[in-house]
Chain A
């Protein structure tokens, strides 16, 4: 069909600093989680978002507080970017009652509708038709709210992607479909499972516009998302936003990553979105190095506090397992 407009502008200083803070927070959150996990403090498994921060932060920064997002099995970065307090995220990873899902969800289901984040859906592409339904409700209720739906490159070969995007397209729903193309569905390279060059190429099949963003550049993602969100809010329908990105770490715990060359990982790390924005902020004299350091220090304190909060939080009573199946 056509390529969506991507405004080529520099966001305000306030937005840039906020995006830096959120990316740094998402990164440090994952590094902390990784450590806690290795130390055996966290049950279950974790899918870390490290490397992809620019996508969640760029998209969520283009959304309003009332807008919603849907997420995946790799949701920590989305939750941080949407502004969920990290105390409640960390407590959820610990399986404590103070967690954002009361210990019923864990890592793969982080979310809280009070902050506009549906508990993450850990079935690949499972949230795409649901995002379409949320957008349908937003339209029927005559709100001007928008839903942004995150999914990986692996999701675009699921039938749910096809059905969900098509329905949003035919009804001009206020949805933004954000593909985080990190090149690998678990261990399988996208070139083995998709003939088209870009996920964005799929948009023309649904008669909707697409836009490709550099997923390692938060400003580029923000601009792409801004255009798509604006379009959705105006009632012009959904856009497919493809963000080319990379995860620095394994798919989940115990992934030795033998399926990809080490120099590929290193090459992507050279494009690190946090380093890149920091450089941009200082070189353009938008913020002084000292100011950024202070910002980072505050994040470190917040993370320390979150871990402390989680550790001190109560465990659920085992018999609470039978609650919350139905409403009372």
Chain B
């Protein structure tokens, strides 16, 4: 089977969906300018040649406008794939996302739908506090938005195709260090998660976690790049005789709690790894669910390995201190298993 980077997988998903359904179009900053980048991280590069500027729409630097235009177009029968250059800019369009996209269906009594996808790159890459945030978990607190967090090329393509076909607003988070260490937009320190992607059509349903590694001693759940950190940790732990089960939820809303619960019944121990600050975040929510619904299966306290509650620092030494890494996960797992 052929292999693709996440960027290639995303581009292919967009192209296929646009070919399949003429209502699908892309809208964002610098996504189709000839001689430009194809979006901040090259995902839409070349698509304007295939689909013309009628369907690859370059916008002014107007994040509120982009979100509003995508929402309006979605309500009026189109299926927009919008994007922001950095996830941090979602805050610029927060009214449109949180007050409009998320609530319009509800306010209408279920009479209308808002089938839009908003793609957003996240993750720390020595760009400091305003271009490095991970903020996926922030949105689980806003009812009405689905959230996808693909960690592999296979998932990126299958989840994006599902997102485009979903009749609800979907926030689609992509980690900058997972796009692929190729091309002129490759990030220092990027992983190269080139993965097998079949030629034939496939979709990945939302709310279906992937067990990346099976194990009996401890459950480690992470998302986006922390799935890879968890896998590295599991390898080290295995050498010490600790078998970790690694779960990648793939979507946060809906969230596949069943897979986590099943794993907890087996392992009795849980480490949640997240690049976001831990306070009030996704990791806190998973911990709360574990305590509420799986307390009797737990043999040790639920533990979070997250970023501290600070902005993302710039200097590489401080950034590395800030990020959850393999060593921190291994330490946490050892403590839980060995006491």
Contact = CB atoms under 8 A, between A and B. Distances in A.
Interface stretch (A4-12, A123-131, A286-294): A123-131
Interface stretch (A134-142, A178-186, A188-196): A134-142
A326 B206 CA distance: 13
A325 B100 contact: no
Interface in B302-319: none
B227 interface: no
Contact of A134 (B64, B75, B143): B75
A121 interface: yes
B74 interface: yes
Contact of B65 (A100, A101, A141, A167): A167
Contact of B109 (A104, A131, A133): A104
Given A123-B100, A164-B65, A130 B106 contact: no
Contacts of B167: 327
Nearest to A97: B109
B68 interface: yes
Contact of B143 (A100, A109, A130, A325): A325
Contact of A104 (B64, B96, B108): B108
B71 interface: yes
B108 A129 contact: no
Interface string B81-119: 000000000000001100110001111111111000000
B109 A134 contact: no
B65 A137 contact: no
Contacts of B68: 126, 128-130, 132-133, 160, 163-164
A131 B72 contact: yes
Contacts of A134: 72-73, 75-76
B65 A163 contact: yes
A132 B69 contact: yes
Given A105-B109, A129-B64, A160-B64, A137 B95 contact: no
Interface string A111-123: 1111000110101
Given A103-B109, A159-B64, A166-B65, A326 B72 contact: no
A99 interface: yes
B101 to A, nearest CB: 9
B144 interface: yes
A49 interface: no
A138 B67 CA distance: 17
A26 B244 CA distance: 67
Given A129-B65, A129-B69, A133-B72, A140 B54 contact: yes
Given A136-B69, A166-B62, A101 B109 contact: yes
Given A112-B111, A141-B78, A325-B143, A132 B65 contact: yes
A140 B25 contact: yes
B108 A133 contact: no
B111 A130 contact: no
A159 B67 CA distance: 13
A103 B109 CA distance: 7
A138 B69 CA distance: 12
A323 interface: yes
Given A132-B69, A160-B95, A113 B112 contact: yes
B75 A118 contact: yes
Contact of B69 (A118, A167, A324): A167
A201 B168 CA distance: 38
Interface size on B, as a range, is: 35 or more
Interface in A58-101: 68, 99-101
Contacts of B143: 325
Interface string B16-59: 00000000010000000000000000000000000000110101
B140 to A, nearest CB: 13
A318 B111 CA distance: 19
B301 interface: no
Contacts of B57: 136
A209 B113 CA distance: 33
Given A126-B95, A163-B64, A325-B143, A119 B107 contact: yes
A119 B95 contact: no
A102 B109 contact: yes
A167 B68 CA distance: 10
Contacts of B329: none
Interface string B128-167: 0000000000000001101000000000000000000001
Contacts of A119: 104, 107-108, 112
A327 B77 contact: no
B60 interface: yes
B96 A129 contact: yes
B72 A129 contact: yes
Contacts of A138: 76
Contact of B77 (A104, A137, A323): A137
B168 A327 contact: yes
B70 interface: yes
A101 B113 CA distance: 13
A130 B65 CA distance: 8
Nearest to B115: A327
A178 B96 CA distance: 20
Contacts of A128: 68
B62 A326 contact: no
A36 interface: no
Contacts of B144: 325-326
B167 to A, nearest CB: 4
Of all A-B residue pairs in the complex, the 4 with the closest CB atoms, nearest first, are A129-B68, A133-B72, A102-B109, A163-B65
20 contacts: A68-B76, A102-B109, A103-B109, A104-B107, A105-B107, A105-B108, A109-B108, A118-B75, A118-B104, A123-B95, A130-B71, A132-B68, A133-B68, A133-B80, A134-B75, A136-B73, A163-B68, A324-B106, A327-B110, A327-B168
